Structure 1
Amino acid sequence: MSEEKLLEFAWGLANSKKPFLWIIRPDLVIGGSVVLSSEFTDEISDRGLIVSWCPQEKVLNHPSIGGFLTHCGWNSTTESICAGVPMLCWPFFGDQPTDCRFICNEWEIGIEIDTNVKREEVEKLVNELMVGEKGKKMRKKAMELKKKAEEDTRPGGRSYMNLDKVIKEVLLKQN
Structure 2
Amino acid sequence: MSFTIQAAEEHALPIVLLSPDIACMFFSALHFRTLFKKGLIPFNDKSYLTNGYLDTKVDCVPGLKNFRLKDLPDFIRITDQNDSMVEFFIEAANHFHRASAIVFNTYNELESDVLNALYYSMFSCLYTIGPLPSLLNQTPHSHLASLGSNLWKEDTKCLEWLESKEPESVVYVNFGSITVMTPDQLLEFAWGLANSKKPFLCIIRPDLDGTQPLKAFVPEFQCCVGHFLLIRPTNCRFICSEWEIGIEINTNVKRDEVENLINELMSGEKGKKMRQKVMELKKKTEKNTSPAGHSLMNLDKVIKEVMLKQY
1:14 aligns with 2:173: no
Q: Deviations over 1:80-126 (max 9, x none)?
A: xxxxxxxxxxxxxxxx1101100000000011111110000000011
User: Which structure features the higher share of helix residues?
Assistant: 1
Deviation at 1:71, TM superposition (A): 2.6
Counterpart CA distance in 1 for 2:262 and 2:216 is 20
SS of 1:161 mapped into structure 2: helix
Contact 1:7/1:36 (CA < 8 Å) preserved in 2? no
**In structure 2, what is the equivalent of residue 53 of structure 1?**
226
Identity %: 64
Q: What is the aligned counterpart of 1:71 among 193, 215, 230?
A: 230
**In structure 1, what is the equivalent of residue 244 of structure 2?**
108
Counterpart CA distance in 1 for 2:270 and 2:282 is 18
Counterpart CA distance in 1 for 2:237 and 2:269 is 20
Counterpart CA distance in 1 for 2:310 and 2:197 is 58
Counterpart CA distance in 1 for 2:188 and 2:207 is 18
Inter-CA distance 37–164: structure 2 relative to 1 (3 Å threshold): closer
Deviation at 1:34, TM superposition (A): 1.0
SS of 1:111 mapped into structure 2: coil
Contact 1:12/1:120 (CA < 8 Å) preserved in 2? yes
Inter-CA distance 9–172: structure 2 relative to 1 (3 Å threshold): same
Counterpart CA distance in 2 for 1:36 and 1:128 is 29
1:125 aligns with 2:261: yes
Q: Deviations over 1:145-175 (max 9, x none)?
A: 0000000000111111111111111233246
1:155 aligns with 2:281: no
1:167 aligns with 2:292: no
Structure 1: give runs of 5+ residues left out of the alignment: 42-47, 55-68, 73-95
RMSD after superposition? 1.9
Counterpart CA distance in 2 for 1:137 and 1:99 is 20
Counterpart CA distance in 1 for 2:256 and 2:263 is 11
Structure 2: give runs of 5+ residues left out of the alignment: 1-180
Q: How many residues align?
A: 131
Counterpart CA distance in 2 for 1:174 and 1:131 is 57
Normalising by structure 1, report the TM-score.
0.69
Normalising by structure 2, report the TM-score.
0.40
